[in-house]
Amino acid sequence: MVNENPFKSILKTLEKPGGEFGKYYSLPALNDPRIDRLPYSIKILLESAIRNCDEFQVKSNDVEKIIDWENTAPKLVEIPFKPARVLLQDFTGVPAVVDLACMRDAMNNLGGDSNKINPLVPVDLVIDHSVQVDVARSENAVQANMELEFQRNKERFAFLKWGSNAFQNMLVVPPGSGIVHQVNLEYLGRVVFNTNGLLYPDSVVGTDSHTTMIDGLGVAGWGVGGIEAEAAMLGQPMSMVLPGVVGFKLSGKLRDGVTATDLVLTVTQMLRKHGVVGKFVEFYGEGMSELSLADRATIANMSPEYGATMGFFPVDHVTLQYLKLTGRSDETISMIESYLRANRMFVDYSEPQIERMYSSYLALNLEDVEPCISGPKRPHDRVPLREMKADWHACLDNRVGFKGFAIPKESQSKVAEFSFRGTSAQLRHGDVVIAAITSCTNTSNPSVMLGAALVAKKACELGLEVKPWIKTSLAPGSGVVTKYLEKSGLQKYLNQLGFNIVGYGCTTCIGNSGDIDEAVASAITENDLVAAAVLSGNRNFEGRVHPLTRANYLASPPLVVAYALAGTVGIDFETEPIGVGKDGKKIFFRDIWPSNDEVAQVVHSSVLPDMFKATYQAITKGNPMWNQLSVPSGTLYAWDSKSTYIHEPPYFKSMTMSPPGPHGVKDAYCLLNFGDSITTDHISPAGSIHKDSPAARYLMERGVDRRDFNSYGSRRGNDEVMARGTFANIRLVNKLLGGEVGPKTIHISTGEKLSVFDVAMRYKSEGRDTVILAGAEYGSGSSRDWAAKGPMLLGVKAVIAKSFERIHRSNLVGMGIIPLCFKPGEDAETLGLTGHECYSIDLPSNVSEIRPGQDVTVVTDNGKSFACTLRFDTEVELAYFDHGGILQYAIRNLIHTNH
């Protein structure tokens, strides 16, 4: 049903010397004074609504809601949003392509044209996240790790290569090219699209929560679950609540010795405290001119850690300079600037600024930022460097929690003696065993990468060394980093300290840190030591970096090098030496730390546009290992039932043309009973596959050797593995077990303690539904679709929580799971719920009788009943629930449209 766009009268032509760039929907042509005062990020939503308005999926009323943002945003109104493109990364891209292949089969079975299942918007799929650090401290680490990855992941890579041929409108960037977010920033980001002569702002939703990195380039982008991304790929508008926008004013300039990472950790803590979940944050003020594009991207990247949907930096001259640096053509840059100026979406700080409306305001003078790190368990627990030693000792004392390990006083100075490759060695609480320059956050930023290299140079010249048992690694986000580290002549110093390049992709930050040496691992476990990892990543949740590092600190790349040299996090850099130099002289932190001017000079002379052009020209040609992969032709995938990587999931089994309608819950047992801050890392399978887990059992039954288990991430295309890995996190605290830590639960009717998967399967075989009880911020962290798909496959029908993180709640809806919120001031404990009850939730069988956000009553078998808020937030979400999920809705919709 395609209607004429009611806004066609504001379609204008954008002229250029000697011709035209194309046509565009002109916001100034609406002559509405409210538009000029809108935040820039809201203008992007407005333009999308106007351009896509058909009075069916997007209505004139939706456009008016956005224009009247000042009045409508506080009321949490719903709007549809159609992003300009979708970004998939390897691990999350595989299930998306699996689901597309499955949908083709389902379409075929229902008598529709299966070839209609194609992405309707451009899809960029970057194969990254595939670097397990098996080989470190070696000149040939990149090649060796890459060969291992191709051996382990050949099947997955071949499947994606098949997808790039089978589906139209899908670009696949081969493995070894870099981290998806950096490739997006340096190469894929359009800023402004020109599609068949129609100009419009670039906007993107991606299947990784750090998609927000692109906000630093003035492109509106954020992470969604794979489920939402698939719907967007299929032309469904994303239903979202029109967000509030926090205006964040920056002034001043960073002091000498302060890095972009220090700024990011400061901003993260400020915004977490302010409360920005579900909101946009938009940066402005005269301090903007002091922030390079890479600094902005570093702040934008951390949006999930401070909880915002976006951390947005509108396009200005700094953006245009970066586009030039990264090899975009003069013609393209001219088109981008002309379009954004014409549509009043460009910020020119040389002109008087119109005062914009924001929902709330924050301000930071950059001069107030000081060196810091964050940890030991959460990204927003910032510790100023000067307080770090005292804070570390407090963490050893404190009771077990986000800032505590409860180590008895008499054990805190314990020294574990061990032998490392024939040499005697010692380990203490707080000793560093992993030091990694990793992840998208920092590896796009030349100032901190070259800053780390300068620290290495000074340290080497003074004769400092890193202890050989510390696992050191450097994983740049793109090949450009290697080029400028080599051009500067500094890579050799990083190598000398063991920071060899191990590959281009996410490594330690995603849990791919590889094994710690067995002697070190034994010393940690046998002495119950709190060992530390220091990484330049963005996530340090428990159990994520490595099972044996209980303390994990986020730090700038130069600080990662400094802590590797010190060998412990329990050091006061101000007063204690970092080590002893070659002449027996004590070397202090200040002796190896570069000035901002030193860093700026190296950046200026070493980071050149040709490096970006050469790197990304090579990407499009692939690499020998990728090019040699042979893949089947044909648009329907030939499923291999023996495959442990790619498996046809059961989502569409016995699907009919009629929607199944809403479902309530009757006499359901509680599968798990949680407290606050359960992250998607706790729920979703991530990191290595434990040898005693249900997933390991499944793989061994199919003849997979333990050394070939690979990671959960690499097996995301196999629902059998992923269902078994759901809630398999070793740090899970389940109240049904009385506070015991580990991936087990109680089978209520027998009292048996088993793995979560085994209990869930037993309930399924008994025909019994299950629910989950949880505290605040359930599902915070990465936008993992398996955190919703896994529970659905385990038979979970509802989650009752104090509050949900935005993406996870919508993913639960997409998989047909009912999200319910306790009433304010209530939770399982105040209501006297133990989790040993049976739960019933009565919902009408006709979807038209359900309203978004209505109250529903939950009744237990021991006579308790309490009201909850039904967290289907929009009419569209209710439609998904009626159809049994978002993908089923999309298939039925496509068939109806084609008929």
Indicate if 30 and 132 belong to the same structural domain.
no
Q: Give pLDDT, residue 898.
A: 60
Q: Where are the beta strands (DSSP E) in 517-657?
A: 531-535, 549-554, 579-580, 586-587
402: Cβ contacts below 8 Å, ≥ 6 apart: 377, 378, 381, 677
User: Would you say residue 326 lies in a domain?
Assistant: no
Question: Taking residues 438-465, what's their average pLDDT?
Answer: 94
User: Cβ(89)–Cβ(208) under 8 Å?
Assistant: yes
Q: Is the pLDDT of residue 225 over 80?
A: no
Q: Give pLDDT, residue 207.
A: 86
Number of domains in the chain: 4
If you compute the radius of gyration of the chain from its CA atoms, what whole number of angstroms results?
Answer: 27
| CATH at residue 547 | 3.30.499.10
Q: Where are the beta strands (DSSP E) in 372-528?
A: 372-374, 382-384, 416-420, 423-427, 432-437, 471-474
In one-letter notation, the amino acid at residue 384 is: P
Indicate if 734 and 862 belong to the same structural domain.
yes
| CATH at residue 833 | 3.20.19.10
Indicate if 73 and 129 belong to the same structural domain.
no
Indicate if 669 and 741 belong to the same structural domain.
yes
Three-class DSSP category at 587: strand
Lookup result for tokens 């053509």: 329
Give residue 129's pLDDT band: very low, low, confident or very high (50, 70, 90): low
Angle at 531 between CA 530 and CA 533, to 5 degrees: 135
Interatomic CA distance for residues 436 and 420, integer angstroms: 20
Q: Is the pLDDT of residue 1 over 80?
A: no
- Residues 528-554: tens digit of each pLDDT: 999 999 999 988 988 889 999 999 999
Q: Give pLDDT, residue 130.
A: 63
Handedness of CA 219, 221, 226, 227 (dihedral sign): negative
Q: Is the pLDDT of residue 340 over 70?
A: yes
- Residues 635-687: tens digit of each pLDDT: 999 999 899 999 999 999 889 999 999 999 999 999 999 999 899 889 998 88
Indicate if 776 and 640 belong to the same structural domain.
no
Last residue of a domain, one of 81, 112, 131: 81
User: Would you say residue 807 lies in a domain?
Assistant: yes
Q: Give pLDDT, residue 528.
A: 95
Most confident segment among 145-149, 424-428, 657-661, 877-881: 424-428
In one-letter notation, the amino acid at residue 319 is: T
Tokens of 831: 């209501």
Using alpha carbons, select from 485, 536, 616, 625 the residue that is nearest to residue 144.
625
Over the chain, what is the mean pLDDT? 93
Question: Taking residues 281-286, what's their average pLDDT?
Answer: 97
Indicate if 641 and 512 belong to the same structural domain.
no
Q: How far is CA 649 from CA 105, 204, 891, in A?
A: 11, 27, 16
Interatomic CA distance for residues 225 and 335, integer angstroms: 32
User: Would you say residue 314 lies in a domain?
Assistant: no
Give residue 561's pLDDT band: very low, low, confident or very high (50, 70, 90): very high
Give strand pairing partners of 870: 820
Q: How many angstroms from the chain centroid is the CA of residue 662?
A: 31
Tokens of 231: 């719907």
Using alpha carbons, select from 290, 298, 306, 441 the residue that is nearest to residue 362.
306
Indicate if 225 and 95 belong to the same structural domain.
yes
Residue predicted with more confidence, 227 or 671: 671
Q: Give pLDDT, residue 445.
A: 93
767: Cβ contacts below 8 Å, ≥ 6 apart: none
- Residues 864-874: tens digit of each pLDDT: 999 999 999 87
Q: Is the pLDDT of residue 718 over 80?
A: yes
Q: Give pLDDT, residue 112.
A: 84
Q: Is the pLDDT of residue 10 over 70?
A: yes
Handedness of CA 271, 272, 276, 280 (dihedral sign): positive
Give strand pairing partners of 643: none
Q: Is the pLDDT of residue 441 over 70?
A: yes
Interatomic CA distance for residues 789 and 207, integer angstroms: 14
Q: Give pLDDT, residue 154.
A: 86
Indicate if 455 and 556 belong to the same structural domain.
yes
User: Would you say residue 679 lies in a domain?
Assistant: yes
User: Would you say residue 170 lies in a domain?
Assistant: yes
Indicate if 451 and 586 belong to the same structural domain.
yes
User: Would you say residue 538 lies in a domain?
Assistant: yes
Indicate if 541 and 674 belong to the same structural domain.
no
Tokens of 874: 């929009």
Residue predicted with more confidence, 491 or 633: 491
Indicate if 785 and 829 belong to the same structural domain.
yes
Widest distance between CA atoms in the chain: 83
Interatomic CA distance for residues 554 and 371, integer angstroms: 12
Indicate if 580 and 648 belong to the same structural domain.
no
Q: How far is CA 484 from CA 457, 487, 608, in A?
A: 15, 5, 8
Provide the domain limits for residue 876. 665-684+726-883
Residue predicted with more confidence, 585 or 710: 585
Using alpha carbons, select from 356, 355, 336 the residue that is nearest to residue 346.
336
Most confident segment among 168-172, 375-379, 565-569, 690-694: 565-569
- Residues 80-124: tens digit of each pLDDT: 999 999 999 887 788 889 999 999 999 888 888 888 888 989 999
User: Would you say residue 401 lies in a domain?
Assistant: yes
In one-letter notation, the amino acid at residue 840 is: S
Give residue 409's pLDDT band: very low, low, confident or very high (50, 70, 90): very high
- Residues 612-627: tens digit of each pLDDT: 999 998 887 878 889 9
Interatomic CA distance for residues 551 and 395, integer angstroms: 9
User: Would you say residue 96 lies in a domain?
Assistant: yes
Handedness of CA 507, 508, 511, 516 (dihedral sign): positive
